[in-house]
Amino acid sequence: MKRIGLLTSGGDCPGLNACIRAVVRTASFYSLEVYGFKRGFKGLIDNDYSVLDYKSVAGILQKGGTVLLTAREPRFKDYNFRKLAYENLKNLGIDSLIVIGGNGSFQGANLLASEFDLNVVGIPKTIDNDIYGTEYAIGFDTAVNNAMDAIDKIKDTTVSHERIFIVEVMGRDSGFIALEVGIATGAEITIIPEYPFPLHVIEEKIVKSKDMGKNFAIIVLAEGVTSAKQLSEILNERLKDKGIGDIRYSVLGYIQRGGSPTAYDRIMASRFGYFAVKKLVEGERNFMVAFENGMIVSKPLGISFGKVRIPDIEEYQLNNILSL
């Protein structure tokens, strides 16, 4: 093994550049070349790459986004395009590929590894933190901190105006961001897709809170449940008879995914990148980097195929007990 292919795929997140830097610098330490493909799997298909050396990754550690660019590539679902990607890699003399990606990208990576003679490594990243097999994915901590900072600000106006405010956070079908942000901001109610929170219970909580003399509430809503707009319309309608109205909402959106990574994300991304290359050098094949019980470990790449991670019920209960 002399050359490694590297790409970032799926939604961007803070920490990708720190990971790219770690891969390139560790590879350089072991005298390996790194070919960085642009826009994820699209770059593999279009043979669009640049050679990354020790110097080319200087000054990127603290930057959000990805210098390799990223994309979601529908053509990769087609075997013929995956074959083309493999042939491009072979022609460049690349037999190992590191994919820094989330659930969708891991599926593509796994297909490549099973269909062709290619050694594929997955490094988990997604602000959603829902990749099966690892307790951490690059970007999550920064996203939670971004959302927490925004909610702290929203809380000032919520308390001052004695309002109920719904804040919609990202996560696609997953509730990890909402759950952690709910705990970190002391949200009165946190609603996530994995565990039911019926409308009547939300109403009861709001009314009970008001009866206890608390005239404001922050509801953190995971986007995978419903939209904040819809929930505010429903609650405004259902609570007006109880003298509760003017329920506002805010959708945090892409600010959660941007900006400079936290120290934790920089460090985890650096560890993941270093670990991936080191294991490759040691001869390990087709694995994903995973964080488990405080340790960075490798697991078979296929382990996450078709599965997602869900939050622990205990965390959810903790959140409910501490709120209100």
Task: Give the x/- contact pattern for ligand F6P in 30-59, rule: CB under 6 A.
Answer: ------------------------------
The secondary structure of 214-225 as a DSSP string is ---EEEEEETTT
- In angstroms, rounded to a whole number, what is the distance separating the alpha carbons of residues 101 and 11? 8
Question: In the set 127, 144, 166, 239, which binds ligand F6P (CB under 6 A)?
Answer: 127
Q: Is 171 in the site for ligand F6P (CB under 6 A)?
A: yes
How many Cβ atoms sit within 10 Å of the Cβ of residue 126?
26
Which residues 96-125 are close enough to bind ligand F6P by CB under 6 A? 102
Q: Which two tokens stand for residue 49?
A: 């790459």
Coil, strand, or helix at residue 319? Answer: helix
The dihedral sign for the CA sequence 84, 85, 87, 92:
positive
Q: Is 170 in the site for ligand F6P (CB under 6 A)?
A: yes
Backbone phi and psi for residue 10, each to the nearest 5 degrees, phi listed first: 85, -165
**Is residue 182 close enough to count as binding ligand F6P by CB under 6 A?**
no
What is the token pair recorded at 322? 């501490």
Active site residues: 128
Q: Does residue 141 bind ligand F6P (CB under 6 A)?
A: no
Which range binds ligand F6P by CB under 6 A, 76-84, 165-173, 205-213, 304-312?
165-173
Query: Nearer to ligand F6P by C-beta: 174 or 209?
Result: 174
Which of 128, 168, 180, 188 contacts ligand F6P by CB under 6 A? 128
Stretch that binds ligand F6P, among 37-45, 126-134, 149-157, 185-193 (CB under 6 A): 126-134
Q: Is the Cβ–Cβ distance between 299 and 287 less than 8 Å? A: yes
CB-CB contact of 45 with 81 (8 Å): yes
User: 35 or 224: whose CB is closer to ligand F6P?
Assistant: 224
Whole-number minimum distance, CB 174 to ligand F6P, in Å? 8
State the burial class of residue 2 (Cβ atoms within 10 Å of its Cβ: 0-12, 13-18, 19+). exposed
Binding residues for ligand F6P, rule: CB under 6 A, are 11, 102, 126-128, 170-172, 223, 257
